[in-house]
């Protein structure tokens, strides 16, 4: 088969690779219905995160199970499954506390921008849908394998409560789905920070009540204006830079909650400053073991709308370029 490999900054190749095979009896092989490019893929693509030689890419996926190892009982060939970017047994203490992305048997997935994928810990990592879903649901189910779960965790970790005031920093797919999640959790007011017209529109569609285009100190001042000088109850940091983190912390009221789900790059916090802000911080790689599938299947949410570009998998390099240049929010790839 062919698969996606990053060779260096801006150098994505779709090239021959070995077909994946069962290597542990807890593995499954999945024929992918769709995969996509993640915002976090852009860090190494832009040369802002070093890679150790040619690196197979992709960690968001859904599709039909082809084959399973002998220890896999509940996931069966022919089922449609949604996976996660981190594998999990779903039985260890961390998993049982709901932190599957810190599973004691965790592996971070790679190689999903390909037609076939080996998934370790298949029974814990994969969630099967009842029956094979219709094609129009595939983008939303694909979103459940990372970006929706990450947006949901961002809202959850920021303690979004019915009636609360929420700020979302970052207008990428995760931020937009943080808006959707906050809306589902009953937030009273959702302020999306975005200066990109198309993304503002989708944020409003997902439930944003206000848009703030300013950033940094000006952005913080706007949030204070909008909240009678108090700050927000919950702030979702969905970028991962120092600027976005400081913007999030200083937009939060004392006693409020900041979640951070963007992989941090160059974020350093000043202890004294943090001390006097009185905010709760909770974040990390989201436990996205797909759990929002019912909401998708019954039509309550349509997170697949973040995919505003769909390409054949062999045009994956264009998917990276479009996201890098912010021409696309998120690129879906069809094998």
- Shortest Å distance, C-beta 65 to Zn ion: 21
Q: Closest CB to Zn ion among 57 and 119?
A: 119
Q: Closest CB to Zn ion among 88 and 277?
A: 88
Q: Closest CB to Zn ion among 95 and 313?
A: 95
**Strand ranges of the sheet holding 2-8, from the earlier edge strand across to the other edge:** 11-16, 2-8, 55-56
Q: Which of 12, 32, 68, 95 binds Zn ion (CB under 5 A)?
A: 95
- How are beta strands 2-8 and 307-312 bridged, if at all? unpaired
- How are beta strands 116-119 and 127-128 bridged, if at all? unpaired
Q: Which stretch binds Zn ion (CB under 5 A): 93-101, 225-233, 246-254, 320-328?
A: 93-101
Q: Closest CB to Zn ion among 103 and 311?
A: 103
DSSP summary character for residue 53: S
C-alpha 179/C-alpha 222 separation (Å) is 18
| Residue 310 touches Zn ion, criterion: CB under 5 A | no
- Shortest Å distance, C-beta 124 to Zn ion: 6
- Shortest Å distance, C-beta 100 to Zn ion: 6
Tell me, by CB under 5 A, how many residues bind Zn ion.
5
- Shortest Å distance, C-beta 87 to Zn ion: 9
| Residue 51 touches Zn ion, criterion: CB under 5 A | no
Identify the H or E element spanning 318.
Answer: helix 316-324
Among 22, 105, 114, 77, smallest CA distance to 289 is for: 105
Q: Which of 103, 182, 295, 311 binds Zn ion (CB under 5 A)?
A: 103
Q: Which stretch binds Zn ion (CB under 5 A): 10-18, 36-44, 95-103, 198-206?
A: 95-103
Q: Which stretch binds Zn ion (CB under 5 A): 13-21, 88-96, 172-180, 296-304?
A: 88-96
∠ CA(216), CA(222), CA(223), 5° rounding? 90
Among 23, 280, 2, smallest CA distance to 156 is for: 280
| Residue 122 touches Zn ion, criterion: CB under 5 A | no
Q: Closest CB to Zn ion among 101 and 194?
A: 101
User: How many Cα atoms sit within 13 Å of 256 on the Cβ side?
Assistant: 24
Sign of the CA dihedral running 104, 76, 62, 132: negative
C-alpha 41/C-alpha 36 separation (Å) is 10
Q: Closest CB to Zn ion among 95 and 185?
A: 95
Q: Which stretch binds Zn ion (CB under 5 A): 25-33, 94-102, 218-226, 297-305?
A: 94-102
C-alpha 71/C-alpha 25 separation (Å) is 5
Tokens of 46: 């832009």
Contact code string over 187-226 relative to Zn ion, x by CB under 5 A: ----------------------------------------
| Residue 89 touches Zn ion, criterion: CB under 5 A | yes
| Residue 92 touches Zn ion, criterion: CB under 5 A | yes
Identify the H or E element spanning 128.
Answer: strand 127-128
- Which residues contribute to the site for Zn ion (CB under 5 A)? 88-89, 92, 95, 103
């Amino acid at each position: 088969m062919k698969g996606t490999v990053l060779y260096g900054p801006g150098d994505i190749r779709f090239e021959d690779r070995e077909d994946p095979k069962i290597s542990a009896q807890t593995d499954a092989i999945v024929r992918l219905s769709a995969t996509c490019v993640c915002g976090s893929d852009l860090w190494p693509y832009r040369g802002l995160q070093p890679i150790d030689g040619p690196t197979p890419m992709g960690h968001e996926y859904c599709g039909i199970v082809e084959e399973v190892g002998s220890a896999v009982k509940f996931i069966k060939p022919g089922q449609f499954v949604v996976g996660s970017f981190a594998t999990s047994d779903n039985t260890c203490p961390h998993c049982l506390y709901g932190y599957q992305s810190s599973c004691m048997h965790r592996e971070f997935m790679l190689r999903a921008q390909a037609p076939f994928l080996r998934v370790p810990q298949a029974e814990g990592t994969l969630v099967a849908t009842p029956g094979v879903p219709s094609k129009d649901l595939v983008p939303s189910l694909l979103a459940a394998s990372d970006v929706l779960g990450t947006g949901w965790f961002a809202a959850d970790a920021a303690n979004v409560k019915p009636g609360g005031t929420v700020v979302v920093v970052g207008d990428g797919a995760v931020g937009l789905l943080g808006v959707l999640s906050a809306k589902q959790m009953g937030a009273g007011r959702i302020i999306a920070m975005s200066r990109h017209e198309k993304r503002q529109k989708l944020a409003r569609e997902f439930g944003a009540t206000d848009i703030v285009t300013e950033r940094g100190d000006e952005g913080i001042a706007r949030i204070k204006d909008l909240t009678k000088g108090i700050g927000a109850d919950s702030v979702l940091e969905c970028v991962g830079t120092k600027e976005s983190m400081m913007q999030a912390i200083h937009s939060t009221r004392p006693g409020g909650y900041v979640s951070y789900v963007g992989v941090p790059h160059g974020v350093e916090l000043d202890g004294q400053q943090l001390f006097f802000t009185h905010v709760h911080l909770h974040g990390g790689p989201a436990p996205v073991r797909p759990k929002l599938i019912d909401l998708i299947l019954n039509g309550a949410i349509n997170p697949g709308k973040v995919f505003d570009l769909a390409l054949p998998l062999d045009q994956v390099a264009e998917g990276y370029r479009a996201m890098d240049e912010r021409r696309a929010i998120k690129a879906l790839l069809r094998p």
